[in-house]
Chains A and B, each alone.
Chain A
Amino acid sequence: MIEFEIPKPIVMNNTALETVAINMMRPVSRYFDEHEHEIPWDYINFMHMAMRATGAGSLAPTERKKKEGEEEKERPRLGYQSLAHMLEMLAWGDCGMYLVTPGGGLGAAAVEAAGTPEQKEKFLKRFRGEKPVFGAMAMTEPQAGSDTSAIRTTAVLDPATNEWILNGEKIFVTAGHKSLCESDGLVVVWATIDPSAGRAGMRAFVVEARTPGVTVSKLEHKLGIRASDTASVVLQDARVPFDHLLGSAEVVREPTTKGFKGAMATFDATRPLVAATAIGVARAALEMLKEMLAKQGVTIRYGLPRQKLTTVEREVIDMEAMLRSAWLLVIKSVWMADNRLPNSKEASMAKLRAGDVVTKITQRAVELMGPLGYSREYLLEKWFRDAKISDIYEGTGQINRLIVARHVLGYTGRDLR
């Protein structure tokens, strides 16, 4: 049966999160935008406490543990659907602050997607402790962004100590500073164990805070999402234990693209979630636009033919259709993830569409509000700046178009470069 009813537990969660967004994010949104690199500890501590209490955690949904004597009951899996709703609402509050939500972020998501059960236990436990702890993923390098197989950071095994020695420079590490310097967190670092092997050489390594040889060398100054730190991380003979390589031991030294595929599988899971945050920003902008218009006495007359609509009405109606349809792409792709259906195409569709929609909606909202839209008195201009990153990180709109095209055409990466 085709259904669109938001699951009950998610509805309850949403109400709570909306309160957080309204009371803990919006009031300080402007402040943290204008004070880049200051950390919103009030929000972080509150969220950490709340998430500990409710059991909500990392970006990847954890399986609910069965209590002793509890009967086996088939429940619908809602993990990714809950996360999509949660992140949409937090990003609606503030997209930069949502990125500093403790719980492990993309780092934990990678461990969850590619780690062994032992690794998950070892690395993810920290996110449920007393203090808020952060996690990050380090893929991009100065010379390699979308072309992830071109990374140059190396990992060499020291047979004497059975440790990996990491060398290289990572940039654009979201929450990298908080993960390495502000908490006992971790960064999942992608490196190659064989630079001549391309994708087959790629592996993911867990690098913990306070690892000698790991330094945060720079914090970026950005167009938007300024509450979130974007760090450069330098690895200089940084040593990590053998089992910090994510995945089972037998694939460690074999030439295999499993590592690369692991990264890509992580993206299938995280792309719809990043798309959800784009939708949150777009919804914030559209709602504020409609409120401001309503104050000016402009009501939107749904049901009229285009020829009878004003330009403003037409714009708003188009934006609503865009926003809702893009959100449904997100929901479908996370629903597929929860039902263990391959969702690579749908995840990329959701991501590329959400990136388009949020940039269009925020740009138009600023335009339609004229001098009010351009003013920093309102948040519309901030969301215009925040929005653009959604079309870039976690796979640019162009990379996602490539992926969708390959699926539609039945092409491999070699057929369509």
Chain B
Amino acid sequence: MYSFEPSEEQKMLVESISRFAQNDLRPKAHDADEENNLPPKLIEKGWELGYVQASIPEEFGGFGERSAVTGILAVEELAWGDLAGALAILTPNLFATPILLAGSESQKQTDLPPVVEAEWQPYTAALIEPTFDFDPNDLKTSAYQEGGEYILNGKKTYVPYANDAEAMIVYANLDGQTQGFIVPKDTAGLEVGQRQKLLGIHALPVYPVTLTDVRLPVDNRLGGPDGHDIAPILDASRLALASMAVGVSRAALEYSSDYAKDREVFGVKVAQKQAIAFMIAEMATEIEAIRLLTWEAAWMVDTGKPQASVQAYLALTGAMDMAMMVTDRAVQILGGHGYIREHPVELWMRNARGFAMLNGLAIV
């Protein structure tokens, strides 16, 4: 059967996140962006909403079950509030969900409870690399086995909270396969550089990470000595970003529509001009279309459909174009005011551009 109605539980979750996004995230977004800083209390409060904890089973310290559909519903709301805040709150998930999806039994037992049971802590992951054609399935960072150890070398970029991360998953190329490795704090050869400055998501602290002969026990390979399949992790990342793109775009549509209904031009409201109204109609249509594509991809992941990976890829491809189009138009609808940082649309436009290159910065 088809159904477009979230479950009662999902609705309740979305509602509580939506309240937080509206009352906490959104009001802080502007200053956070200007000051390159998110209030720790804000992150803690977002963490306490318990979305991450609810996606981890009880035996590993959580109180629920992972569902990609629930995940995308949740992160869409967070991103609607503020993308940088959403990414910050969910950063520990970059560590937890891959372990849940691909970790060995002992990794789940050992590594999940400290993340899930405690307050928000900087656990993170390093996937992206500083090349123009970065490809998660063809990493430049290398891993090879030597005796009872793996040795990692390479450069990573945009690693959230890398400077004081308790531990991170580093993805590397092992015999042509992308594999994750659990790298604890203060591992020799792991060097975190200066905080990076980006076009958008200013408030999220991200760092370059260099790995020079980083030696790890074989047990630190994600999934244990036999490793894991990278596809489910990439699917989950694409789904997260696609639905965040929907959240940001929804925010831009709502703000620019409200503005257009308020602002007068030639004796009528801006929104009463077809040139503007048609833009708004297309923005709304495109957001809804991509939202459904993302929903279907998440449902395919949850139900184990063989086409799930392709669909998640299509969803993100469609979402990044959609978000760019929608946020660009939101700025255009506000005209000169859209270019001024007092209004949030320029921030959303800068944030939206990131969806094409931030694969690996969020996961559901």
Enumerate chain A interface residues (CB-CB to B < 8 A). Answer: 1-7, 76, 81, 302-308, 317-318, 320-322, 324-326, 328-329, 331-332, 335-336, 346, 349, 352-353, 398, 400-402, 404-406, 408-411, 415-416
Contact = CB atoms under 8 A, between A and B. Distances in A.
Given A3-B299, A320-B314, A324-B293, A335 B2 contact: yes
Given A303-B137, A303-B313, A416-B271, A7 B1 contact: yes
A4 B7 contact: no
B309 A328 contact: no
A214 B360 CA distance: 67
Contact of B281 (A3, A331, A402): A402
Contact of B290 (A318, A325, A400, A408): A325
B278 interface: yes
B135 A308 contact: yes
B316 to A, nearest CB: 9
B272 A411 contact: yes
A5 B3 CA distance: 9
A7 B284 CA distance: 28
B292 interface: yes
A318 B137 CA distance: 20
Nearest to B6: A2
Contacts of B311: 324
Given A2-B3, A328-B289, A409 B277 contact: yes
A302 B289 contact: no
Contacts, number: 143
Contacts of B309: 302-303
Contacts of A411: 271-272, 277
B285 A305 contact: no
A294 B277 CA distance: 42
B262 to A, nearest CB: 11
The SS class assigned to the A binding surface is helix
Interface in B269-304: 271-272, 274, 277-278, 280-282, 284-286, 288-290, 292-293, 295-296, 298-300, 303
B271 A307 contact: no
Contacts of B310: 302-303
B332 interface: no
Given A331-B2, A411-B271, A415-B272, A4 B299 contact: yes
B284 A408 contact: yes
Contacts of B69: 2
Given A402-B274, A408-B257, A409-B257, A325 B284 contact: no
Contact of B271 (A76, A81, A325, A409): A409
Contacts of A321: 293, 314-315, 317-318
A138 B10 CA distance: 46
A305, A336, A401, A411 — which one has the most chain B CB atoms within 10 A of its CB? A305
